[in-house]
Structures are given as structure tokens and as C-alpha cells.
Amino acid sequence: MDFLRPENLLRYGYKDCLLCEVERKGEEKRCHHCAGRVGQRDRLLWEINRERIRRISGKLAAFWPGAGHLYSGRYGVGFFWAVLVPLALGLLINVWQGPSIKSAFRLIGRGSSGKLLLDVWQAGTYGHFVLFGAFAYIWYMSRKDALRGFRAILAPCQAVCPSNVDIPDYIALVREGYPVEALALVHDKLPFAAFCGRACPHPCEQKCVRNEFGSPISIMQIKRFAADHGYAAGVTPSSEITDGVPSPRIAVIGAGPAGLSAANTLARLGCRTTVFDENEEPGGTIRYGVTDFRFPNQALLSDVKAILDRGVHFQGGRKLGADLTFADISAQGFDAVLIAVGTSAAIRLPGTGDESAGFHDAITFLAKVKKKVPVRLHGKVVVIGGGAVAIDVARTVIRLGVADVTIACLESRETMPAFQWEVEEALEEGIRLLPSTASKKFLVRDGKVCGFEALQVEKIELDSKGRIMPRTVPGSEFEVGADVVIMAIGSRPAMDFLPPGSTRRLVDPHHHVYRLISKGNGLTIPGYMCGDCVRGPATVVEASASGRAAALAIYGDLCVSEVRKARFQDNYRRRHEPQVTDSPEWRVRCHGPKLTADESRSTFDEVEKGFIEADVHRESERCARCNLSL
């Protein structure tokens, strides 16, 4: 079966047949109602069509309970809801002692609606009103269940993953010695396998059932192993742009995680996609905002190359609003535009100066370091902020040769937004931490920053608009000396390029996808927005999920007839695996080799190394495969 060869899975998309227990005779024809042998484009079409069916089901359920379930193929549930309404209505009619239906219509015809309401109110009892409420509740719950649609019960790790990556199955493939196939399965939902195998916040590990029996599985390291070995195969993904297949032209503004993920999905659907970005190279945050010791450039190139090889075109140095306008996009013949520009504008504290005075922002600072642009640092460097970006900035400053580096943040040591293991690594490298500290006033001498007045923070509160309002301790003023101040307190989108009077309409609330509504002579083609520019700063895996959802929404709106042809479902059965008794050695988590603090503080080499084959096999064996028992 050539379609199951590893290189073909990477080239044309993953096939579920590797995990299917249905007998196969070797032919390459599609199984009936199974996505196992369906191409990647057909799988995505069915995903779009399933969402369309869900929306229509909600509308039908509002007309009559159960109708939406029957339309979507959930016949048992639909029959249940359809029967409940007549039962409740019949019970209400049987116990009703008030005005009859005939007399009610007679009163309405005479214009005596007020008298009818009075008669109904006087004849009604508490039991009648309870039945009225039950009738309305059945109608409401039926529509809500129809809008929810059918959802398979997922393993806790997969359920919490923003991209809904099939974690248990790709771990099983790695365990059985199929890392290339595992990468193909990850690429079904997430094109940034190399990045998320190194710098993902991995909420999946926090929900792993192994937390109850020892420690969670190193899911992130297993993904990294699959990505490194899969990309090493050097397989070029295929393009779905063929004759006879609708291929609309889509412009994507922004080459960050959301934009590239959307372009990748659109290319898999057969769209001719062009990505525009103000930077000369694609990648956005993962190229210019993540340090080499966390995510080396070679791993970035692997992820980006796999996306561009699908036929995605990239044009760098084109900033929307300056080098590119919506009129230009329309004139080039694009059918739709997706805005995924991220949050590129750094937030600065009031009272700060420019770089010549010693004030820097984290976004510009990290971008300069990545581009090998010299940055003047000397003396004491203070990084303001308590998140992962602040930790990365401080560790970068240490590697640039500065000996005195301090992180000052509003939060306490225990409530810092950064992960505890990140903070511990920074402390091991010699970075000092100044928690529960709020800057009051920056001190400048001879045009250069020399420190700032600070207050001790007692508690952090939020105002009515969700803004941070620290409660400081009266009389706790103290000074913090600093020759350079780097602010890592967040970022916001720069949306000055939007047409005047434009608004947006929510399309996908779960993934933060919006339809851009422009009035007047602004945008003449359908416009969409997704990613951090509409939801605020988030993780790469969340931005990738938003971009993928936006791509599916765009194609669903432009190619309605093509979407309606999709009739395949993921209902294959996984191979049976015998129950294995837990062993004591499986309760111990495997850790990859790391550079020591003395070694890491003087180099930009990657700190945490990957698993060797023996380690990843042992770690993948620890997976409980709870998805087979749900």
C-alpha cells in the first residue's frame, strides 16, 4: 500500500489506516464513511461541512425540537427531543381548566387580548406554570444541544490542547517506531511541530492522567522527537492546486503563527495563497521574538519550509497601510483577505524615554538580537515584567555579557505569569528577582536613566475594564538603580490601517475569528481577522488554532458548493491494545539532557536537548492510552 509509506504520509497527509483495525486488502480506494484513506483536502472539507451542518441544525432545532438532530444524523437523540415536546404539551392540555383554544381565538378576534390574559392567569395554577416552564426549557435545551453538535469524548490531554492535536495517537505511533507518521498526524492540526516541541506551554501535560500516578508524560519532548526525525526525511509536502478544483486567491496579512497556519490550511484546501509581512523573512514572533537558546533557527526553518513548500507565496517588506493597501489587494485579483498581524506594538510605561536614554522595549530588543544588530548594554540592567518574555529578555542580557541583571515585577514569586521552571532556570543563571515591586517614577541624570523609585505591592486588583491596578504599601518607597531599563509588560496590535468606520462580526467565538465589515470605499472583498490582533497576546499553539479556524471559515464562505460535497467521517476503529499492568518504572518521568547554568549563561546554544531513541520509546510507553477507554 504505497499511500501508507512514510514519505507519502508527509507529502499528501496522514492516513488513519495505521491505527485502524478494519481489515485492508491492499487496494487504495476509499473506505466507506471513513477519513482514513481520504486525502487531506477532503478531510478539511468534511470539517467545514460538519460545522455548516451544526449551524443549520441549531436553526432547525429553534423551529422544532429534534429537527436539527435528525438533520445532522443524530437520530436517537433527535427522536428523544421530538417526543418530549408533544408529551409536555399533551400533559399541559389534559390538566388545563381555563379558556379553550376556540374561545381564545374568539377573544383575540374581538381584540380582547387583555381579557384572555386575565382569564389564563386566573385559571392557571403553579402546576400549570411549571409545565409551561418545562415546555420552554425543552425547546431551549434541544436547540442548545443541536448547536453543540456531536463531540467525541477525547483524552484529557487532547481536550485541553488549543489545536486539538491527536496526542495519544501520535504518541502511540512514536512508541511503535513511526516518528515520520507521527509528524504527519501532528501536521493535520498543527504546522509548528518543531516549535511546539520546544517552547510550548504544554497544558496537555498538566491534564495528563499520569499526574495521578507519578508524573506526566513528556508530551512536548515526544513531539520534538517526531518533528526532528520527520523533517530529517526531507519530504516536500504536496500542493492541492489542481485543475478542476476551486482555487480562490487569498491574501494573508502577517507571517506570524496565525497567518502561516491559515496559509498552510488554505494551501491544503487548494487555494492560491500569498502572505504579506512587514519583515523580510516569515515567522513573526517565533522568528524575531523567541531566543535561540529556546528555539534555534534551524528548527524554525523546518516548520516554515514545510508550509511554503505547499505552494504558499511570501512577500516580505510589505507593511499594510504603508507599502500595501486594501485597494492594492483588490486590484491584484484576490478573492478575500485575512488580517493576522499579531501584537507588534510594545506597551511602554509612562515617563520613559528612548533608547538613547537607556530605555528599551522587549519586542524591539529581542528582534535586534535575532537580527544580529548591536545593542548597547552596560552596568545594571533591570527588566520590568514577570512573564515568559521578561524571563527570555533577562536570560538574553546575561548571554550578551552583562553581569548584573534584575527582573522587577508586580507579582509575587508564586504568582508570576512565567512558568516556575522558567523562573528557576533564570535564577540558576545568576539573574536576581525583585517581586511585588511597582515603579513609581523613573530617575534620569544627564539624559540617561539611573534608576527608578519603586513601591512594594501588597495586592494586585483589576478595575472594571480589566486593567491591572496594583495596591501598594504606603510608605514603602525605595530606589532601584539601573543603567538600562527593558520593559516587557505586554504588547498590543497596531490597527491604524483599518478603513474608517469598519467594524467586525464574530464568526468563531472559540478561536476568535471575525468577519471585517467595512463601510464606504474601504474594503471591496471579504475580509477576516484572527489571532492575537483580535484576542490579545497568546501562545503560538493558540494563534495557530485561530489561523486554521479562519482558513476553514474563509473557504466555507467562498466555496459553498464544494463544501457540501464532503461526506466522509472519522469513524475508524483503533487497533485493540491489551491492558498492561502499571509498573513502578513507568511512574518516573524521563528528562532530556540540559546544559548546566554555567554553560548556558555564556552561549546561545539550545539549553534543553532532545530525547534519544531509547528515551523517547521508554517515555511513550508510559502513556496510559486513556482515549481507548473513554
Q: What are phi and psi of 591, to 5 degrees?
A: -115, 140
- For the stretch 289-329, pLDDT in tens is 999 998 898 899 999 999 999 999 999 999 888 888 888 89
pLDDT value at 10 more than 70: yes
480-506: average pLDDT? 89
Among 491, 544, 541, 497, residue whose Cα is nearest residue 253: 497
Number of separate helices (H) and strands (E) present in the chain: 25, 18
pLDDT of residue 90: 72
pLDDT of the residue at 128? 63
Q: What is the pLDDT of residue 520?
A: 63
DSSP string, 24-53: --S--SPPTT-STTS-HHHHHHHHHHHHHH
Q: Is the pTM of this model over 0.75?
A: yes
> Would you state the pLDDT for residue 31?
66
| CB atoms near residue 565 (< 10 Å) | 11
Q: Is the pLDDT of residue 81 over 80?
A: yes
Comparing 369 with 467, which gets the higher pLDDT?
Answer: 369
Per-residue pLDDT band at 133 (split at 50, 70, 90): confident
For residue 573, what pLDDT is reported?
Answer: 67
Tell me what pLDDT residue 111 has. Answer: 52
pLDDT, average across residues 584-607: 85
pLDDT tens column, 219-249: 999 999 999 999 998 888 888 877 667 789 9
At residue 258 the predicted structure's pLDDT band, cuts being 50, 70 and 90, is: very high
Model pLDDT, residue 33 = 65
Q: Note the pLDDT of residue 12.
A: 82
In this predicted structure, the answer to whether residue 495 has a pLDDT above a threshold of 70 is yes
Mean pLDDT of 274-296: 91
Choose between 272 and 97: higher pLDDT: 272
**Rounded-to-integer distance, Cα 243 and Cα 270, Å:** 10
Mean pLDDT of 251-276: 94
Q: Which residues contact 463 (CB under 8 A, 6 or more apart)?
A: 469
Please tell me the predicted confidence (pLDDT) of residue 421.
87
185-205: b (≥16 Cβ within 10 Å) or e:
bbbbbbbbbbbbbbbbbbbbb
362 vs 381: CA distance, rounded Å = 13
Backbone angles phi, psi at 197, to 5 degrees: -85, 0
Residue 274 CB contacts under 8 Å (≥ 6 apart), including other chains: 249, 250, 251, 252, 312, 313, 314, 315, 334
On average, the pLDDT of the chain sits at 85
Beta strand 513-517 with 313-316 is unpaired
Confidence at residue 107, expressed as pLDDT on a 0 to 100 scale: 46
131-136 own/partner pairs: CB under 8 Å, 24+ apart: 131/88, 131/91, 131/92, 131/95, 132/92, 134/88, 135/85, 135/88, 135/89, 135/92
pLDDT at 301: 92
Residues 6+ apart with CB under 8 A from 167: 155, 157, 158, 161, 204, 219
Residue-wise pLDDT for 37-79, tens only, equals 777 888 888 889 888 988 899 899 888 888 888 888 888 888 8
pLDDT class of 383 with cuts at 50, 70, 90: very high
pLDDT value for 261: 96
Segment 384-426, tens digit of pLDDT: 999 999 999 999 999 999 999 999 999 998 889 898 888 999 9
DSSP 249: E
Q: Residue 22: pLDDT band by 50, 70, 90 thresholds?
A: low
pLDDT at residue 122 in the model: 53
User: Among residues of the chain, what percentage have pLDDT more than 70?
Assistant: 87
pLDDT (mean) for 176-182: 90
Q: pLDDT grade, residue 214 (50/70/90)?
A: confident
Paired with 315 in beta bridges are 276
Cβ-count burial of 348 within 10 angstroms (0-12 exposed, 13-18 middle, 19+ buried)? middle
pLDDT class of 197 with cuts at 50, 70, 90: very high
According to the model, what pLDDT value does residue 29 have?
59
pLDDT band at 94 (very low <50, low <70, confident <90, very high): low
Q: pLDDT: is 33 or 525 the higher one? A: 525
Higher model confidence: residue 612 or residue 38? 612
Separation between Cα atoms, residue 554 and residue 562, nearest integer Å:
13
Q: 452: which strand partners?
A: 442, 480
Q: Residue 495: which of 472, 518, 476 has the closest Cα?
A: 518
Q: What is the mean pLDDT of residues 487-503?
A: 86
Residue 120 has pLDDT above 70, yes or no: no
Domains annotated on the chain, with CATH: 52-148 (no CATH), 249-344+493-563 (3.50.50.60), 346-491 (3.50.50.60)
54 phi/psi in degrees, rounded to 5: -65, -45
Q: Could you say which DSSP state residue 256 is in?
A: S
> Per-residue pLDDT averaged across 340-369, rounded?
91
Residue 280, CA atoms < 13 Å, CB-side half-sphere: 3
**Which tens digits make up the pLDDT trace of 518-549?**
876 668 889 999 999 998 889 999 999 999 99
| Residues in CB range of 398: below 8 A, 6 or more apart | 405, 429, 430, 431, 601
Q: What is the pLDDT of residue 588?
A: 81
Q: Comparing 156 with 117, which gets the higher pLDDT? A: 156
CA distance 241 to 551: 16
Do residues 78 and 150 touch, judged by C-beta distance below 8 A? no
List 204's β-bridge partners, or say none.
Answer: none
How many C-beta atoms lie closer than 10 Å to residue 239's C-beta?
15
Q: What's the chain's Rg over C-alpha atoms?
A: 29
